[in-house]
Structure 1
Amino acid sequence: MDSVAGQARLATVLSRVSRHLDGMAGQIFSLEEAVSRGMPGRAADHAAIRELQTLDFLRQSLEDLALLAHQLHLHADTSNVEDLPVLKIARALKLDSTRTLLDCAAGLPVVDDRATVGDLDLF
């Protein structure tokens, strides 16, 4: 297999992965909306709120992974990983846990994922 064909195949796979992850994030968003509609005016207990926050974090993670896969797809023809615009890609990501996958957290503002876990929109 020549490297051009391999790069084209890699770009195709990364594009598919990106779309799949984005679709999964959309499904979780729909689930969040359905759950929130089922809780109007009710005070949820702390355990239920924590579980919903975990669901929200999973959705944000899937969105970030979809974006990461899309960005890698755009640069699939890069033959050297050192040539990837890693900092640019990392800046587009929301969560520090996703940024660390790029192994380039140095030089970027730190985003504490635990802080975003507390942000839950129920409406």
Structure 2
Amino acid sequence: MTLVSSPAESGTALISNEPAIPALVPILLAMRELMSSSEPWTIAPADLRAYKWLGATIFPRRTIYIDPLQDWEDWAETLLHELIHALRGPLPEEEYDAEEAIVEAATRRIMRSMLAELRAAIGAQR
């Protein structure tokens, strides 16, 4: 399957029958690791606007909440960000700011690579 930017831009549906885009591999691998643990994680939609968050990782519940009202690019970035938090594990509150900076940098690095591959794949379909 290949995701495309929008039906209007490509003239096709959002998902076509092309091979999977390698750009999604980091998200899929992180999800697989969390889902296959002895205590699997849950990913659920949640309206987090009251907190001014797009996503949240709640370690005691082993749940990642994602605001579903984001556009797909922001949603994918938020999901990846929260997956990285879940994989890195909980930290004391006093380390939150440093951890957030590490997770933000990792998310940006992976997203740049993913988006470049997606754009190349979309361009190749046109």
**TM category, shorter:** 0.3 to 0.5
Larger strand proportion of the pair:
2
If asked which structure has higher relative contact order (CA below 8 Å, sep 6+), I would say: 1
Instruction: Give TM-score, length-normalised by structure 1.
Output: 0.34
